[in-house]
Each structure stands twice: as C-alpha cells, then as structure tokens.
Structure 1
Amino acid sequence: MKDRIKLNVGGRIFETTTTTLANAGRNSLFGAMFDDQWNPRGPMDGGQNEYFIDRNPACFSVLLDLLRTGELHIPANLPEHLLYREALYYGLLDHVRAAKWGEFDGNRVKLATSVRGRAPGDGTAIRAGPDGGCVVAHGSMVHVYSWTMEQLPPLNLNYQRINDMGFVDAHRVAVCACERIDRGDGGMGMFNSSTGELLYKFQVSHENQPKSFSAGALSFSPESGQIFASCRGRSNEYGIGVWDGYTGKQTDFYYETAGWSIGDSGRLQCLPTTNLLFVATLYPRTENCYIQLLDFREKKAVWSWSDVGWPATIDEKMVLDAIVMEDGNSICVVNQYDDLGFMDLRSNGGSVRWSTRSRLLKMGNADERCYPKLATHGGQLFASTNDSISVFCGPDWVLTSRLRRSHGGSICDFSIGGDRLFVLHNEEDVFDVWETPPLRALS
C-alpha cells in the first residue's frame, strides 16, 4: 500500500496507513505531521518510512484501534486517566469522548458511575460544565471534576455560604456567595476551574461607590458574554447585576420595581432568541411567586406574572421552580404537590394551566423530602421528585421515561451539560453521572 507508514511508539512498532491517521483530523498531532494530502512533511527516521514518538505504547495501541474502528476498548489493566492523558497529547480527546457516549437523549441515558463527596449531608447544588465535567457545592467549598471525573483543586469561599455557581466556559467558574457582615466580603468571584485560582471578584457600584452585596442566582449569555446575578444589599436593596464575563467589570444594574421582588430570586435564565432575562422569585424565599421577563435595553419588564391578588386554589400556590421553554413560548412551573403547570408567554399575566398528564410520579421511599427541580434540554423537559427524574416530550409534554438508580436517596439538585446528566443526592453527597450510549453500542 502506497500510504503505509510505521510508527515507533516508545520502542514498539505499529504499522498503519495515513488514511487511518487522517481519521484523527487536522487538529491532531498527526495532522501536524502530514501535509494537506496527508503526505509526510519531512524526512523520517532512517529513511524507512518510520516515525518515532516517545510515548506510552499500550495507550497508543488503544487509540490506534479507535482510529481504525471508531470503537473504544480499554483493557482492564490500563488506567483510564493514563489513556486520557495520552489522548490529550495526540489531540484525540474528542474522539475518545464521542466513543464513550453519544448525543444526550433523556430517553436513552444510562447510569455510568456514582461519585461520593467528602462532606456528608452538606451537598447543596451541582452544575454541569460544557465539556462533560461538573462542580458540586459543599457548604463553602466547590469541588471541581473534569470530564474524566478526576477531582481538581477545589474552589474555596472562605466560609461563605454558596448560593449558586456555574461554568462561564470550559475553563472558568463563577460562584455566588452570601456576604459575611463581620468580614465585609461576599458577592461573587471568578475562578480558574483547573487550578482553583481566584481570578477576580465582581463589584457592585452605585454612583461610583462600591457596595457590599450577597449574590443569589446566576445566569450567563454565551452570545454577549454577559453574566447576570441577583443581588441583595445590606439594607435589603434588591436588583439584578450585569457584568462583562471577560473583564469582570459591571456594565448594568436593574433595580426592582414596586410590588415586584426580583433581587432574592431563585432562578435566572438568559433567553437567546429574544435576548431577554427570565427572573423568578420562588418559595421558600418568599411566600408568593413573582415571575417576569426583563428587557435590559429598555429597562423594563415585558412580561410578568404573580400569584398575588388573584383567586388561586391552594394547589396553585407555592411555586417551587420555574423554567422557560422558549421554543414552545411557554413557562413550566412546579408546585409543592409536584404538579406541573404551564403558562403561555404570548398572554401577559395569564393563568397557569395545570396538566394532569404531566404530573410527577412519586417513587421509592426517600427518607428526606427535597424540593423538585426543572430543566430542559434538546426539546425535552426534566423534573425531579423524591429520588427519580421524569422525562417529558412532545407538544403535550407526555411522560416518556423515568430515571432512578436502584438505591438512590432524595435528589436535591441535577444539571445537564456536556452531553451528561449529573444528579446530586442528599445521601452522603452522592452524585450520579448519566450518559447516552453511542448508537452503535445499542445495535
């Protein structure tokens, strides 16, 4: 074969073709070794059509087989973290990830692994990263996990209680914390997700004077690079702060209007299609629910709803979570009875349509009750209750799947990102990792 080539990896000879190596792509090490026609760029060792690469031959054998077949088979005696390190060197991490799991689908996900935390009973929140990793809040600490589930240096908040956190991108994590009156610090900080280093603190200023504040819920706009956070001052001034995600500088601030509580909100969500910000103040932060869509360009609310002052039954009170489904022009809410309700965004201030077909089903004997949480991904709606997560699909949000591990405790939080579902349990801070198997693995 004219394109046959030999690779001497750590003293072991591998014979393959440039056609096989081309499967690695232009951004790989092999893409740099060959020209646009995948011909060698320079002379090879001994003139024998051979390259020498001073790396681990056992790992290279697995990665070469991946390039040949598209399938990943890791021998039992080969540590996975060692293989991932070598895949990073060759520029093949994306190939490894694609072989391990497919595009996320809530109806096909399988439990891949469970990870136990270090602070039993203190886990409060989990957030997925864009690359398949996650962060987990434990009191005043944030534990960081790479996509290989390797634990990275933690983020330390100096004994401040964490309210929210999230990945700004694959390399940076923003963390919201309560202000400590005795220390005068708090607010929000940006951290390097790989090293745990504090990059900078976010400031709130009014009339060029810095203000102390506690930061609550977070949201990010990938399109504009902006970071949004609900803020509460020492005198209970409420508002939404806006910062440039690249410089950390404050760019805007939205103060609450009379009758609308937004600063202590439990949910913020950037809407990329309309460039609006969804703000929801929910129980138990307040006895009543306030929901609105804010237009920062016009400094006004363009849509609003509240359960204050309108004749609602007790079943429609105490909204525990809410989320916008922008594709369907609707907002989904869940109450303390695990009922799902839907509001039409095209009708300002309309009533909630409670759906019996989409009611959450309680399963298991979870010892401790946790508030239900909502999420959307790829046209699917996810809702947690007790120790399971229900998946709803279609225009009528019909229940299609239920996710539950055999001995799970109550779910206190979950998050979807990087084609993975992360589920945090109350029980000893266990969090589960759910992945979608590649289609070929199901055939």
Structure 2
Amino acid sequence: MDNGNSNPAPGPCTDDRIKLNVGGKFFETTLSTIQAGGPDSLLAALSNRSTDDPNPVFIDRDPEIFSVILSLLRSNGLPSTARRFSKQELADEALYYGIESQLKSAMSPPPFSGIDASIVTTVQPAYDGCPSAIATGDDGSVWIAHGGQLSSYDWNLSHSGTIRTHLEDITSICRVYPDIAAVGSESSAGLYFYDFSGVRNLGSIHWTDPNDPRIFKARVTAIADSPSSVFASFDCPHRENCILLIDKSTLKIVSELSRQPGSSAKNLAVGKLRWLPETSMVVGSSVTCGAFGYSGYIRIWDPRANEMVWEANEPGSGRSSRFGDSFADVDADVEESTLFKVCSKSGDLLQWQTCVN
C-alpha cells in the first residue's frame, strides 16, 4: 500500500562504472564516457543497464579498435595507436557504435590558414583520365570527374563507386542532390544528370531555339544550384551563350536568365557560377587572357525577376591605368555573400561585399 513516502529509484550516476567484454577483452569505464557518444549511439543505450548487474556487457567486436573508440570518447581525440588501423576500419567501427560524427570531427584536418595550408592526403582515381572537375558534399564526401567518368569518395576519402558516362571528358560537375550529379563538357553538347545510387542517366537538357539557327550544339561551361533550381551556362560554336534556369523536380527548362552574343570579352560565356543563399542571387564571371592582358566581367542576376542587378567589367591591364591590375580569377563565398578577385599582376586578393537585395 502506498503510504505517500515512496520515492522513485534513483537512476544510475554518470560517475558509476560499467564493465564491457569486447571480443573477449575486458574494459571498465564510466557511464559518462559511453554517454559521450550521444543519445542515439549504441554505447549510450548500454548506460540504461543496471549497474548492479555484475556480468559485463558482451560486444562481439574487435577489442583493439574498441580501445581507440574508448579513447575518442574520453578525450575527443584519437590516440597514437589509431595509426595501426586504416581509416576504413575506424569508420566501420564508428558506424557500428553510432559515433561516426565524433570520428569525423577527430579526423578532420585543422582549419585552413592561408600559407600554412598543407596536403592532408591524396586521392588518385583508379581509372583512366586526369581529374578535370570536383564537387563536394556537406557530409565531407567528394565527387571527382576524370575523363568521362565520375568517382565518388566518402567523408574519409574511401572510394565508394564510379559511373562511366557517355561523355569523353567532363569539365563541369554540380551535386544537385546527395546522389545526383549534373555534368557537362566543353567538347560535347548538353547538360546531363546521373544518379549514383541507381547508376543511371536520368536525362539531359539542351539549349535550342527554333527561331535562331545559331543556337545549336550548345556546350556547358558552368553549373550551380539552389534548393529548387539548377543554373547552367551554355555556349554555342558561334559564341552565343546564355544561362538556363532549370527546375530541379522536373528537370525542365524554366527560363533563360541571360542571353548574349559572345563577340567580346564582356559577352563571353560564364565560366563560373555561384548561387548566394543569403540574397537568392546568382553570381557569374568570365575571365580571358589575350595580348592586352586579362579581361572579363562579374555579374549578379536575380532569377526571381530574371534580370541582372549588378556588374563589374575590367577591359585588360594594357588598355587603361585604372584597370592596370585586372582580375585573373573571381570566386564567391556563398555563406558570407562575398566576392573575391585575384589580381593578375600583383597576385593580391580583393574583396567585395554584396549588398543587393
């Protein structure tokens, strides 16, 4: 009978110890250590076990690698003994125990620091063709185009698959979905979509105009994407070019974002595209080099209004002292909506903050 004085049994204290039998080797640690893997990890689930049970929990896994896993949970870093195992071995065990995110953090290289950057590792595709384009995922995975093939590498740069496309060479690649790539070639017409999970071609996009015979065999020079759209720059043999806005869900052309004749440096096909999520704008740039130095443009388009909202042109270092150090390359920081220009003569890096809304 309840007398009103009963209290729930206290739960296990995080300082309580727990004994584990991993592959025949015994380990003893605290509940707080195994709970460091997060609430969804296998080890955290063991923390609910009664500490009064004298029998150690048995886990049928490699005890030597488990000692590395345990050190990772204790210190958020890998011990020197981790070098005895391959990245794939460590990744497989981390996946089993449900602490893959902790291992990723511990194995990640230090933040990029200018001239202090150094090579962490080298990826060499096992198939013919030199690497020609690269795309990265938010999960740390990498897709590399080499020749007419696409190779996928997971977050620890282990090869996970290769697709052979019908293209002889791939010069542009964009990861439009976790398993879907949009690819183009400057030697073959069209934009193509490939599914890594199903290893198949999902379809293609071609820029055509029945009313303009100059628009044919348009090749892709750059690709970018937003959550709902794909942006692809096309260039025809007669130098007419444009940016097509494509619906991601249907893979159908929605509109032409920019169309121009490529008769001068100010009208060349876009060679680099970036979508800025903060402003929902598209940044495009084109740079060329000739007898008078570097020249080209940077432009920002609003795809909602289908119009250009900002541009900067540099006619070449030999034509005007004002532009005596024109850009040799341009890129954008999509998170900060910032544009960067690399000067062709001094090598200086200049920065613009986009303010268009």
State the TM-score, normalized to the length of structure 1.
0.62
Distance 2:192 2:174 in 1: 11
Q: Please give the per-residue CA displacement for 1:271-305, whole angstroms capped at 9, x wherever unaligned.
A: 22221111112215998413211011111111122
Distance 2:354 2:36 in 1: 48
CA contact (8 A) 1:281 1:291 kept: yes
Equivalent of 2:222 in 213, 217, 223:
217
Query: Which secondary structure does the structure 1 equivalent of 2:269 belong to?
Result: coil
Two-structure CA RMSD over aligned residues (Å): 4.0
The percentage of aligned residue pairs carrying the same residue is 25
C-alpha distance 113-206 of structure 1, shift in aligned 2 (>3 A):
closer
Q: Please give the per-residue CA displacement for 1:323-358, whole angstroms capped at 9, x wherever unaligned.
A: 23579886433354353364756799xxxxxxxxxx
- Match runs of 1:228-377 below 5 Å: 228-233=231-236, 236-245=239-248, 248-257=251-260, 264-283=269-288, 288-308=295-315, 312-313=320-321, 316=324, 319-324=327-332, 331-337=339-345, 339-340=347-348, 342=350
* Deviation for aligned residue 1:67: 1.0
* Deviation for aligned residue 1:267: 0.8
* Deviation for aligned residue 1:50: 3.7
The 10-residue stretch of structure 1 (100-109 or 289-298) with the greater mean CA deviation from structure 2: 100-109
1:29 aligns with 2:33: no
Amino acid at match of 2:275: C
Distance 2:346 2:57 in 1: 62
Query: Which secondary structure does the structure 1 equivalent of 2:156 belong to?
Result: coil
Partner of 2:143: 135
Amino acid at match of 1:256: R
Equivalent of 1:63 in 25, 46, 69:
69
Partner of 1:101: 108
Amino acid at match of 1:97: K
Q: Please give the per-residue CA displacement for 1:192-246, whole angstroms capped at 9, x wherever unaligned.
A: 2xx58236234347799xx86422212233xx34322212357654221223445
Partner of 2:26: 13
Partner of 1:72: 78
C-alpha distance 341-299 of structure 1, shift in aligned 2 (>3 A):
same
Unmatched tracts of structure 1, length 5 or more: 349-443
Unmatched tracts of structure 2, length 5 or more: 1-11, 211-215
C-alpha distance 327-244 of structure 1, shift in aligned 2 (>3 A):
closer
* Deviation for aligned residue 1:316: 4.0
Equivalent of 1:87 in 94, 108, 128:
94
Distance 1:186 1:326 in 2: 26
* Deviation for aligned residue 1:314: 10
CA contact (8 A) 2:275 2:334 kept: no
CA contact (8 A) 2:18 2:29 kept: yes
Q: Which has the higher contact order (CA 8 A, sep 6+)?
A: 1
Partner of 1:203: 205
* Deviation for aligned residue 1:112: 2.2
Query: Which secondary structure does the structure 1 equivalent of 2:120 belong to?
Result: strand
Equivalent of 1:4 in 17, 23, 30:
17
Decide which structure has greater strand share: 1
* Deviation for aligned residue 1:155: 2.8
CA contact (8 A) 1:214 1:232 kept: yes
CA contact (8 A) 2:294 2:316 kept: no
Q: Please give the per-residue CA displacement for 1:64-99, whole angstroms capped at 9, x wherever unaligned.
A: 121122221234543331121111121212111212
CA contact (8 A) 2:294 2:326 kept: yes
Distance 2:177 2:143 in 1: 13
CA contact (8 A) 1:200 1:248 kept: no
Distance 2:331 2:171 in 1: 18
Distance 1:59 1:309 in 2: 59
Amino acid at match of 1:61: S
1:175 aligns with 2:196: no
